[in-house]
Amino acid sequence: MTIAMVRPAIAQGQNPLLPHNLSPWGMFLNADIVVKAVMVGLAFASLVTWTVWLAKTIELALARRRARRRIGMLEAGAGLAEATRACADARDAIAQLIRSTAREAELSGGIVDDGFKERVALRLERVEAAMTRQVSRGIGILATIGATAPFVGLFGTVWGIMNSFIGISESHTTNLAVVAPGIAEALLATALGLVAAIPAVVIYNHLARVISGYRTLLGDASAQLLLIISRGQGIRAAALSRAAE
């Protein structure tokens, strides 16, 4: 009876061929160096994704708040000269739209005609495009991560499974309990690839929508400035003010 009890105990003992820790961290530590490099790269890509999300969320929130405040000032009936004075030292997008309009008024000598309106519209369009490019800077990397991370993870998985099959041939065993940990380590790379890619795609689409809304605000500000110059509100005063500077 004693021998019968000892045999199951030996059978239940840990197999030295099996890893002792099958947690994600344990599988990472037991993985091949190439698979480890893939996992570290994907973790870094995920960190970059969330860093870009935080930075761009704060930047766009502040930019949209300033834009709404400037648009409110223009809608309240402020003339070009008054608007120019209000944003003399500001660096936000609509302040640059206002200063660009005042600069064209200065160059045109305060004369409002069809040519002046066309030149102002061209200036406003260029400033809008420049400001949109500025706030869009950095989000392209999210599209790159979203597109490539699954394939990078798949590469790690293929490499890990290849090593698992090599291990099968070297150990001369087809015991699934021996082979499965290596395959699980390989599949962890694909899981990390998806963890990096899915948030990157979602965040990229979200930021693209926010930037599109911000550009709409810039378009509203440009429309208000065109209305102001159509009425001739403070055009000559703005030209004189710019000339005095």
Across 145-149, average pLDDT: 94
In angstroms, rounded to a whole number, what is the distance separating the alpha carbons of residues 132 and 165? 51
pLDDT band of 231, cuts 50, 70, 90 = confident
- What local confidence, expressed as pLDDT, does residue 63 receive? 92
DSSP state of 15: P
Q: Is the pLDDT of residue 92 over 70?
A: yes
- What local confidence, expressed as pLDDT, does residue 240 receive? 46
- What local confidence, expressed as pLDDT, does residue 173 receive? 64
Q: What percent of the chain has pLDDT over 90?
A: 38
Q: Which of 194, 56, 81 is nearest to 134 (CA)?
A: 56
Which single residue is written with the structure tokens 């004369």? 111
pLDDT band of 74, cuts 50, 70, 90 = confident
- Give Cα 94 to chain centroid, integer Å: 23
In angstroms, rounded to a whole number, what is the distance separating the alpha carbons of residues 118 and 230? 11
Across 114-133, average pLDDT: 88
Establish how many alpha carbons lie within 13 A of residue 85's alpha carbon, considering only the half-sphere containing its beta carbon: 11
In angstroms, rounded to a whole number, what is the distance separating the alpha carbons of residues 171 and 179? 10
Residues 6 or more apart in contact with residue 49 via CB below 8 angstroms: 142, 145, 196, 199, 200, 203
Q: Which two tokens stand for residue 161?
A: 């499974």
Highest mean pLDDT among 99-113, 182-196, 215-229: 215-229
Q: Write out pLDDT tens, residues 11-70.
A: 444 444 445 556 666 666 676 788 888 889 999 999 999 999 999 999 999 999 999 998
In angstroms, rounded to a whole number, what is the distance separating the alpha carbons of residues 214 and 132? 8
Establish how many alpha carbons lie within 13 A of residue 167's alpha carbon, considering only the half-sphere containing its beta carbon: 19
- What local confidence, expressed as pLDDT, does residue 241 receive? 54
pLDDT band of 185, cuts 50, 70, 90 = confident
In angstroms, rounded to a whole number, what is the distance separating the alpha carbons of residues 95 and 200? 32
- What local confidence, expressed as pLDDT, does residue 220 receive? 92
∠ CA 55-60-64 to the nearest 5 degrees?
A: 160
Give Cα separations from 100 to 94, 127, 214, 220, 231 (angstroms): 10, 8, 19, 16, 18
pLDDT band of 243, cuts 50, 70, 90 = very low
In angstroms, rounded to a whole number, what is the distance separating the alpha carbons of residues 115 and 118? 5
Q: Is the pLDDT of residue 7 over 50?
A: no
Q: Is the pLDDT of residue 226 over 60?
A: yes
In angstroms, rounded to a whole number, what is the distance separating the alpha carbons of residues 38 and 44? 10
Across 217-243, average pLDDT: 73
